[in-house]
Amino acid sequence: MTVLLEVDRVVAKGLAFPEAPRWHDGELWFSDMTAQKVMKLGRDGELTTVVEVPGQPSGLGWLPDGRMLVVSTTDRRLLRHDPTGLTVVADLSPLAPFHCNDMVVDRYGRADVGNFGFDLPAKVEIKPTVLILVTPQGRSCVVAEGLAFPNGSAITPDGGTLIVGETFAGRLTAFTISPDGSLSDRRDWAKLDGAVRDGVCLDAEGALWVASPRSGEVVRVREGGEVTHRVRTENQAVACMLGGPDLRTLFVLSCQVVHDREKSTALKSGRIESVSVEVPGAGLP
pLDDT at 254: 95
130 lies in a domain? yes
284 lies in a domain? no
Helix (H), strand (E) at residue 38:
strand 37-41
Q: Which domain holds residue 116?
A: 3-276
35 lies in a domain? yes
Which CATH number is 173's domain given? 2.120.10.30
Average pLDDT estimate for 89-117: 96
Does pLDDT of 123 surpass 80? no
Tell me the C-alpha distance between 155 and 284, whole Å.
5
Residue with the larger pLDDT of the pair 90 and 45: 90
In DSSP terms, 243 is beta-bridged to: 249
Domain count, the chain: 1
Does pLDDT of 184 surpass 70? yes
Question: What would the pLDDT profile of 43-60 be if each residue is shown by its tens digit?
Answer: 888 999 999 999 999 999
* 262 three-state secondary structure: helix
**Which of 72-81, 116-125, 161-170, 239-248 is least confident?**
116-125
Tell me the C-alpha distance between 276 and 253, whole Å.
15
Question: What would the pLDDT profile of 255-285 be if each residue is shown by its tens digit?
Answer: 987 656 556 565 788 999 999 999 999 999 9
Tell me the C-alpha distance between 177 and 42, whole Å.
33
283 lies in a domain? no
Residue 18: Cβ-neighbour burial (10 angstroms; 0-12, 13-18, 19+): buried
pTM for the full predicted model: 0.93
Could you tell me which of 153, 146, 150 has the C-alpha nearest to residue 168?
150
21 lies in a domain? yes
232 lies in a domain? yes
